[in-house]
Amino acid sequence: MAGHPLLSRGRSIVLDLLLAGSLLYIGVWVYELANWASLTLFGFHSTLALSGLFPAGVSGVSAVQGDLVLAKPLQIAVSVGAVLPLLFLLRRFNLPATKFTVIGTVSTYCATAFWEALSSSWIPATPAGQASFAVLNLTTMLLLVFAFQKMGSAVFEYSQSSSRRYAESRSV
């Protein structure tokens, strides 16, 4: 039986999809709230814009743009730190869609930070600014490698359990 032992297979699939959908919605809020909190912490007078039930973005104004180099890595660290423990918590349950959603969310956070850093002009030309950018790139790449490794192991684990279930159903 897949999923939680107290649930039937059909209910476990529905629970898995509901949790995965909920985590996608929560993931958007976590990212934007972490953005708002990190910008506010560094003195940007930030505001959170809403579009219906979804956050549409965060805007902030400050005379000193150098602190943005520190605010963005903090935002990613808070976002990943809020979502990644769910992956370790959910490893006990056979909820593949939920696992893939958490891994995909963490990967998206990391990729967003990387592309935001590459496409922005907030990196100062000073040696300290360049060093911060190098640390951001290295951290992002390490988190992406970790996330893709976890995704690969989750896919492998799911395929192994599917193969076993198929073999068990054929032998009965």
The dihedral region occupied by 46, where left means phi > 0, alpha psi between -120 and 50, and beta the remainder, is: beta
CA distance 49 to 127: 34
CA distance 61 to 110: 24
Q: What is the mean pLDDT of residues 88-111?
A: 80
93, 67 in Cβ contact below 8 A?
A: no
Give this prediction's pTM: 0.63
Beta-carbon count within 10 A of 8 CB: 12
What is the amino acid identity at position 63?
Answer: A
Q: What is the pLDDT of residue 62?
A: 62
87, 157 in Cβ contact below 8 A?
A: no
Q: What is the pLDDT of residue 117?
A: 65
- pLDDT grade, residue 146 (50/70/90)? confident
Helix/strand/coil (H/E/C) assignment for every residue in 37-101: HHHHHCCCCCEEEEECCEEEEEECCCCCCCCHHHHHHHHHHHHHHHHHHHHHHHCCCCCHHHHHH
Looking at the predicted structure, is the pLDDT value of residue 7 above 60?
Answer: no
Task: Tell me the pLDDT tens digit for each residue of 45-87.
Answer: 888 888 888 887 777 666 565 566 677 778 888 888 888 888 7
Residue located via tokens 């958490």: 102
- pLDDT grade, residue 121 (50/70/90)? low
CA distance 119 to 122: 9
- pLDDT grade, residue 1 (50/70/90)? very low
